[in-house]
Structure 1
């Protein structure tokens, strides 16, 4: 049963009751006839109305704002996935606001069906997930089990420089595995070397995230074996922690039931009476939890969860990294890979009115270095800025937690204390959005490989390992 609350859309144009909404939601082919619309607000009144419109729909698994409206959205796209049942009424609302509508995706269901059909046909004819790492196809999307096998195979293949760790177990009991890279020329020390944390796939539907993390990681490991000077300096002087897929239950569900599922798959029945499952793991970190850009309604895509760290996947990240911090490892970089929009986003996310953090200029400089390297590969343009400048509010986000100072007294206070903390929003700018086709995995991997090398070069220069 859908979580129900009264809803009246802006200007009283449209009213819905729970019964009519329930009739819209079907068990299969959910997105047939859905469209993704883009509007670009050009004045403050339009922004306020879009924010109000989104809030009116919050709590219903119906209209999905792929790119949200925020107080900083002036002249920036707002993307809305619209079901066929609301198309006419929503068009009337947007037209009354003098907003021009551009249709980015004319039929979401057809796009999903076409992509999944291609993937399943290919998988049936060309089996994937073979035992040999050399057979792994980095130009294809892979199931969660295949990603975990890749982690295992990487640790076996590069056993002298990688070590496996079990981050935690998901709500549905799936292991979340990662590995640390420490070069063979690394000098044993106390405290341990400075460290980097990369996590992918926190939002289930963003398939390009784990695919990209695997792509550039494999390339950098091969660079190290080939004696590449930069790769050797990156891995010999720093520890690199890699978790390619952080939301296994949600990711698996996108393969089996709902390609556009975003959240975890935890059960909300015990506290809310809602039949809607999961929370947004990128709203579940303790810093700023339940603040701006989150929802208290379990059916919302930005539901913040029953409490901070209620999702075991998020709690596992915090526990694991806090244990490393307690053993004197200093994290300089925290990076969460997402899609879409082509951004390097720094803190803050928790409030549109928060002042820039003390290390803002340094984060902008590193973001620019990475963006310049990315653009040099295929011409793809990334913007650098804080989340509240370029995208949206998101209290309880990973990057805010990654940045705020460590507090040894409680996991519900403080964060990781990484000077450079980002969300990276990968391709594209909205043509496909969360449904980036497989033929773009390779170019995304190539440009992000260049971006990560630029990040490595930047931080090594700051540390004095490169003159």
Structure 2
């Protein structure tokens, strides 16, 4: 799409989304008791189609829960909260106005020529980019760093868009099949800071490698790194063209007018359990079957082929927004959700948390999924950790990556999914620090195992 076309789209989606979300508010509710926490968790499970929970309900007293509320449901929710002795305050007074403001800012910048194009030399990591620009970035990164980077086609989306990623292997690698890391962003369409953050910290690491940074050289020479900046490319494109707050894929659902599936409820490991809706119109719709979404199938098929060819994955991270949490498996279990590697997973999460805090003094919580959140099934991090089934198909088993996490990025609800662009750089800077901490931890563990 040329610049004029992009500007037109941005103006159109800004006006459309403002009207669509006019009067929608985001309410912050702070549960003061465990009874409040349990009730909010039940409300999310039973009425999540009516009330859009922007943050999951953590199993913690005094941890805020943000809900986007339509104008016609505000009186109802106010009454329900009053009956439970719960108050709230308005975090975002009018979502429609905030959407329109963000899209207008994007179109104004492009119209005034303040975006230097998509060539890598002029790529601005501190602004949001379209799907086309992100895919161009993949190609340009592979060209610029061709001595250690190659691009690959993960597959095509349900609407036929290419989904591309990069593989990084250092020049000092001597293993035909080194252990591997998988990073993916943008599985939920409206979480724009996810692809932006993944691209930002990737570029910083690549520069550090070329500048001889000892840690990054060891990271890239001893591990393969597979990085997908945007997995749900149809949904992401739709947030630029039609609905800024769209979450799901854009696949058709048989016998339903409602479009899309939640790709983070569609992974096959323990698919179809709690915390995933069977209703096609829900934002957490699990799909008609496990791996119904071609985007999920593409990712699983790619990693299973690597496993079959002898490459083991030690890290799997799915980057989301928002709420600043590092979430380890298990998420599908209602009780006793800690894995057998829980202590090691929490040790690494603590190191990542410390690195993040040391960067911009931002605090991330961490824990096992269903222990700090309410249970949900069919999610990425459970599949990432689940035992690999060598002879199974793409609905059997998981990846077998010891360090599998979902990372919820900035912020804590002041802007939610509409994070301003001035927070992109601090987001990728603190994740860059977290990835360095992760690399050091994994390398130390690998070294200790060899010894």
Q: Which residue of 2 aligns with 1:34?
A: 24
Q: Which residue of 2 aligns with 1:12?
A: none
Q: Which residue of 2 aligns with 1:329?
A: 311
Provide the TM-score with structure 2 as the length reference.
0.93
2:98 to 111, 118, 133: 111
Is the counterpart of residue 144 in structure 1 residue 131 in structure 2? yes
Question: Given that residues 205 and 434 in structure 1 are in contact (C-alpha distance below 8 angstroms), is that contact kept between their aligned partners in structure 2?
Answer: yes
Q: Which residue of 1 aligns with 2:51?
A: 63
Q: Which residue of 2 aligns with 1:195?
A: 180
- Supply the distance in 2 between the matched residues of 1:355 and 1:386 (Cα, whole angstroms): 6
**Superposed, which structure 2 residues align to 1:129-140 within 5 Å?**
130=117, 132-140=119-127
Deviation at 1:110, TM superposition (A): 1.0
- Supply the distance in 2 between the matched residues of 1:313 and 1:206 (Cα, whole angstroms): 17
**Superposed, which structure 2 residues align to 1:23-102 within 5 Å?**
29-58=19-48, 60=49, 62-69=50-57, 72-102=59-89
Q: Which residue of 2 aligns with 1:126?
A: 113
* Greater Cα offset, 199-208 or 402-411: 402-411
- Supply the distance in 2 between the matched residues of 1:323 and 1:363 (Cα, whole angstroms): 26
Q: Which residue of 2 aligns with 1:290?
A: 272
Q: Which residue of 2 aligns with 1:349?
A: 331
- Supply the distance in 2 between the matched residues of 1:27 and 1:338 (Cα, whole angstroms): 22
Superposition RMSD in Å: 1.8
Deviation at 1:43, TM superposition (A): 3.3
Question: Given that residues 348 and 400 in structure 1 are in contact (C-alpha distance below 8 angstroms), is that contact kept between their aligned partners in structure 2?
Answer: yes
Is the counterpart of residue 244 in structure 1 residue 221 in structure 2? no
- Supply the distance in 2 between the matched residues of 1:252 and 1:329 (Cα, whole angstroms): 33
- Supply the distance in 2 between the matched residues of 1:89 and 1:378 (Cα, whole angstroms): 39
Deviation at 1:299, TM superposition (A): 0.6
- Supply the distance in 1 between the matched residues of 2:268 and 2:218 (Cα, whole angstroms): 34
Provide the TM-score with structure 1 as the length reference.
0.90
CA-to-partner distance for each residue in 1:44-88, whole Å, 9 max, x for gaps? 443443344334434x4x421112346x25433221100111212
Is the counterpart of residue 384 in structure 1 residue 366 in structure 2? yes
- Supply the distance in 1 between the matched residues of 2:118 and 2:434 (Cα, whole angstroms): 30
Q: Which residue of 2 aligns with 1:8?
A: none
Q: Deviation above 6 Å: which 4+ runs of structure 1?
A: none
- Supply the distance in 2 between the matched residues of 1:278 and 1:414 (Cα, whole angstroms): 25
Q: Which residue of 2 aligns with 1:225?
A: 210
- Supply the distance in 2 between the matched residues of 1:351 and 1:239 (Cα, whole angstroms): 31
CA-to-partner distance for each residue in 1:207-260, whole Å, 9 max, x for gaps? 000000000000000001111111111101110000000000000111111111
- Supply the distance in 2 between the matched residues of 1:370 and 1:100 (Cα, whole angstroms): 34
- Supply the distance in 1 between the matched residues of 2:343 and 2:46 (Cα, whole angstroms): 37
